[in-house]
């Protein structure tokens, strides 16, 4: 479901010398012998996820969706980005789904928070609060404020039925709170870290409330699991990882710009930035992950990419083969806007032409290498596929750099500093 094309970035010959390393790292991932191997639970997850828990989530999500108009998904980083990426990619930005999703706990902006609370005054809403540690400050504050409003509107007992907590099986403040108040809880497995958790209840519960067919998401992930079992460079996820390593280490590029031509894929690029940035940005190593939405950014950063400072970044362009929806361009009686020359084409065909035109400009004139990722579709199965595929590519990529892909010591420093400055015991 994903093909990688390096024609405009690297020659085939440069990959060969990495074959041995790829084989070793593949076995390191599957045999759990590498750095951070306690957090490799996501590798087998598409086949080992708890079916009884999924059935319980489906039931709870259905009941909740019947009772509410708005779902608040409260979380940050790996406890937020995956759910949003899935919901926006699969449902689109103006979906007809009954339940609207609002994301909180990823900011401490008082204005944003207060505005959402005002908006919720007259809405029937429920809460899905997600935190593995159960102690992260941003979601904890947002949850306290939203819970208070919900309890005021609905009463303590009814509010408790409209709250679902997704957290550690045994420990953390959120787990204690949930047990005391009687919230339904679902578990974040011990051996799966935040940014690798989208296929666990962390992403799945919100997807279910949003009407997404999660069985299809798992089918996609299972297919990606099969396709990435190969331990050589015919495995596209590994080829992508090696290609970006060569561009970084041999060709000295510092940044990778992930480009999409679909607005509903913007949060996929945000999820990807966290996955690669937090997994690899350690020991003064790693490519800086950036993202652009074209055509939007062709009229801003496009100029810099084309003619600005050279040898900083390469682009990885996502090309969607089959759009969810398309529009035919027809002939107008009077061609005052001069667009009749497009009659007979579809809007997606024009978008694909833009991709080809931009790639040619950025490569031939701008001399910016371009990797092309061909995605078949933008649906539920594709989301399952791409999320697993990128996680596998990221593990390979970080191990090539000799980095632990599964910790985030830098993030922990800021979290601790905040606790100290705010006077937490």
Residue 269 in contact with residue 258, Cβ under 8 Å?
A: yes
Q: According to CB under 6 A, which residues from 354 to 413 bind ligand PA5?
A: 408, 411
Instruction: In whole angstroms, give the CA distance from residue 292 to residue 294.
Output: 6
Beta strands 255-260 and 370-375: pairing type? unpaired
175 binds ligand PA5 (CB under 6 A): no
Using the rule CB under 6 A, which residue among 26, 175, 195, 244 binds ligand PA5?
A: 195
Catalytic one of 256, 262, 278, 315: 278
Listed residue (30, 40, 34, 398) closest to 197, CA to CA: 40
Yes or no: say if 370 and 363 are a contact pair by the CB < 8 Å rule: yes
∠ CA(89), CA(90), CA(95), 5° rounding? Answer: 100
Question: Judged by CB under 6 A, does residue 185 bind ligand PA5?
Answer: no
Site residue total, ligand PA5 (CB under 6 A)? 15
Of 139 and 369, the one with the shorter C-beta distance to ligand PA5 is 139
Nearer to ligand PA5, 139 or 384 (CB): 139
When asked if residue 281 is in the footprint of ligand PA5 (CB under 6 A), the reply is no
Nearer to ligand PA5, 136 or 210 (CB): 136
Stretch 303-322 residues interacting with ligand PA5 (CB under 6 A) = none
> Cα(23)–Cα(252) distance, rounded to whole angstroms?
24
100 catalytic residue (yes or no): no
Cβ proximity to ligand PA5, 77 vs 220, nearer residue: 77
Q: Toward ligand PA5, which CB reaches closer, 166 or 233?
A: 166
Q: Copy the structure tokens of residue 36.
A: 């951070």
Distance of CA 354 to the CA centre of its chain: 25
Query: What's the burial of 137, exposed, middle or buried (CB within 10 Å: 0-12/13-18/19+)?
Result: middle
Q: How many CB atoms lie within 10 A of CB 147?
A: 22
Neighbour order of strands in the sheet with 2-5: 2-5, 370-375, 313-320, 255-260, 288-293
Active site residue 278: yes
- Nearest approach, Cβ of residue 157 and ligand PA5 (Å): 27
Among residues 9, 22, 25, 76, the one that binds ligand PA5 under rule CB under 6 A? 76
CB of 134 to ligand PA5, least distance (A): 7
Site for ligand PA5 in 90-149 (CB under 6 A): 131-133, 136, 139
Tell me the closest approach of the beta carbon of residue 404 to ligand PA5, in angstroms. Answer: 12
**Where on the chain is the footprint of ligand PA5 (CB under 6 A)?**
76-79, 131-133, 136, 139, 193-195, 278, 408, 411
Known catalytic residues?
Answer: 278, 415
């Amino acid at each position: 479901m994903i093909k990688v094309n390096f024609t405009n970035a690297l020659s085939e010959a440069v990959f060969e010398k990495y074959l041995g390393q790829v084989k070793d790292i593949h076995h390191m991932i599957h045999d759990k012998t590498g750095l951070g191997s306690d957090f490799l639970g996501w590798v087998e997850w598409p086949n080992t996820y708890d079916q009884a828990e999924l059935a319980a989530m489906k039931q709870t999500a259905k009941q909740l969706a019947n009772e509410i108009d708005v779902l608040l998904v409260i979380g940050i980083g790996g406890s937020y980005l995956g759910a949003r990426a899935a919901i926006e990619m699969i449902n689109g930005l103006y979906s007809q789904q009954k339940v609207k999703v609002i994301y909180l706990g990823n900011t401490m902006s008082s204005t944003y928070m207060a505005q959402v609370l005002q908006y919720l005054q007259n809405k029937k809403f429920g809460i899905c609060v997600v935190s593995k540690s159960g102690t992260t400050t941003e979601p904890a504050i947002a949850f306290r404020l939203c819970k208070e409003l919900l309890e005021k509107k609905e009463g303590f007992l009814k509010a408790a039925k409209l709250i679902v907590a997704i957290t550690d099986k045994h420990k953390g403040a959120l787990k204690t709170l949930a047990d005391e108040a009687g919230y339904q809880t679902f578990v974040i497995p011990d051996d799966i870290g935040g940014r690798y958790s989208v296929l666990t209840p962390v992403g799945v519960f919100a997807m279910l409330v949003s009407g997404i067919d999660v069985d299809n998401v798992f089918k996609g992930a299972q297919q990606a699991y099969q396709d990435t079992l190969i331990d050589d460079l015919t495995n596209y996820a590994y080829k992508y990882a090696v290609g970006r390593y060569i561009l970084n280490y041999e060709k000295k590029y510092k940044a990778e710009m992930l480009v999409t031509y679909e607005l509903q894929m913007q949060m996929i690029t945000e999820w990807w930035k966290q996955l690669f940035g937090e997994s690899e940005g350690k020991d003064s190593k790693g490519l800086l992950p950036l993202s652009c939405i074209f055509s939007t950014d062709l009229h801003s950063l496009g100029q810099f990419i084309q003619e600005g400072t050279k040898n900083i970044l390469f682009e990885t362009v996502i090309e969607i083969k089959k759009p969810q929806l398309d529009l035919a361009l027809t002939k107008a009686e009077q061609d005052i806007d001069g667009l009749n020359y497009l009659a007979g084409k579809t809007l997606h065909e024009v978008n694909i032409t833009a991709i080809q035109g931009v790639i040619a400009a950025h490569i031939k004139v701008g001399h910016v290498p371009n990797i092309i990722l061909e995605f078949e579709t933008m649906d539920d199965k594709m989301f399952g596929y791409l999320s697993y595929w990128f996680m596998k590519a990221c593990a390979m990529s970080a191990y090539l750099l000799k980095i632990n892909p599964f910790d985030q010591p830098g993030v922990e420093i800021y979290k601790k500093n905040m606790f100290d400055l705010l006077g937490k015991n």
